[in-house]
Structure formats: C-alpha cells, structure tokens
C-alpha cells in the first residue's frame, strides 16, 4: 500500500516529467522547422543576404546592393579594368550599368567619382555598344565619342560620360534587373 501513497513528492515529480516531455517536444519541433527552412532557402554567395532595401519599391536586393525602381545596383569601392569589372558583374548575375535615362542614378547623390559602365566600342560593329549589344542612344548623351576599340566609358553623376582606356583601373557599377 505504501507504493500507492500520494505524497507531495510524487505530484512534483509527475509535474516535472510532464514539463520535461513538453520541452523536448518543443525542441524537436523547432529543430525540424529550422532544418526545413534551411533546406528551402536558395544558396547565396558568402556574405550576401536577401533583404528589402529602402526605396526599392518592388525588389529585394542582396546585402551591399541598393534597390531602386525594381533594379539592384552595386557601387564598387574596388578599382578594376573594364573587362574585370564586367566579369565581376557577370559573376553576380548582373551586368555593368546600362543607363536607360540621364536621371536613372538620381538616387545616388553621392556618386562623385567616375565608374565603369557597360558601354564600350565594338570594332566589328563600328559603334558604341552596351553589353547586351544595343547601341548608345545619342539622345541620352549628346557629345562626340571617338571610334577607338581600346576605349570604354566611365560615368559620373555630375560629369556625365568620359572615354578612358579600358585597361585603366576604376570603380564600377553593376546593375541587376529584377523585372
């Protein structure tokens, strides 16, 4: 009969057992949710996280990229020749900036220095071409450009376009279209 006695200790141990069971069940659920969430998320390059950037309106850009009007922009601090800048942008699933209007980068008020953009002279086409093969609209910028295949274009918000030897090192701007 002593085994069936109800004492405060048996009540306490029963309560602690139930609490322990609930804590273990909660831990199992949390671990399962965490594993499922990691499995669903696409792999990102090191140091990049997807987050909505202020003023982006409709896009989510990686860390260190600026979202604006459904595009993501990366302004490098590092200086590279034009071809290396183009290759870096391509490795980030983007391209060197292709300007669509004079005020496209109006949000980047601090853009004081010249940066490489995706415009270079094509000797084969005898024309200035964007990376996608389209020609430069002279309505966009009206000044004569030389016909030198060793020249690429730099852009500054305050100064506009500038021709430069493609092997010179400058910072660059990548653009990723999201729509």
Cβ proximity of 116 and 130 under 8 Å: no
Strands 60-62 and 66-68 come out as unpaired
CA distance 152 to 138: 16
DSSP letter assigned to residue 113: S
Asked if the model's pLDDT at residue 58 lies above 70, the reply is no
* Domains, the chain: 77-172 (3.10.100.10)
What sections of 80-163 are H helices per DSSP? 82-91
Asked if the model's pLDDT at residue 130 lies above 60, the reply is yes
Span 42-52, pLDDT tens digits: 333 333 333 33
The pLDDT value recorded for residue 1 is 47
- Backbone φ and ψ for 90, nearest 5 degrees, come out as -60, -35
């Amino acid at each position: 009969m002593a085994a069936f006695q109800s004492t405060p200790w048996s009540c306490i141990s029963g309560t602690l057992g139930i609490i322990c069971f609930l804590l273990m069940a909660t831990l199992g659920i949390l671990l399962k949710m965490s594993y499922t969430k990691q499995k669903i998320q696409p792999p990102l390059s090191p140091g990049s996280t997807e987050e909505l950037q202020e003023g982006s309106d409709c896009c989510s850009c990686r860390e260190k990229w600026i979202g604006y009007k459904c595009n993501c922009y990366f302004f490098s601090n590092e200086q590279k020749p034009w071809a290396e800048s183009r290759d870096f942008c391509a490795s980030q699933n983007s391209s060197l900036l292709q300007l669509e209007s004079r005020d496209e980068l109006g949000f980047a008020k601090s853009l004081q220095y010249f940066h490489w953009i995706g415009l270079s002279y094509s000797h084969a086409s005898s024309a200035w071409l964007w990376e996608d093969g389209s020609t430069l609209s002279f309505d966009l910028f009206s000044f004569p450009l030389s016909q030198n295949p060793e020249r690429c274009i730099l852009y500054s918000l305050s100064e506009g376009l500038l021709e430069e030897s493609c092997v010179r090192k400058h910072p660059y701007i990548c653009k990723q279209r999201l729509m």
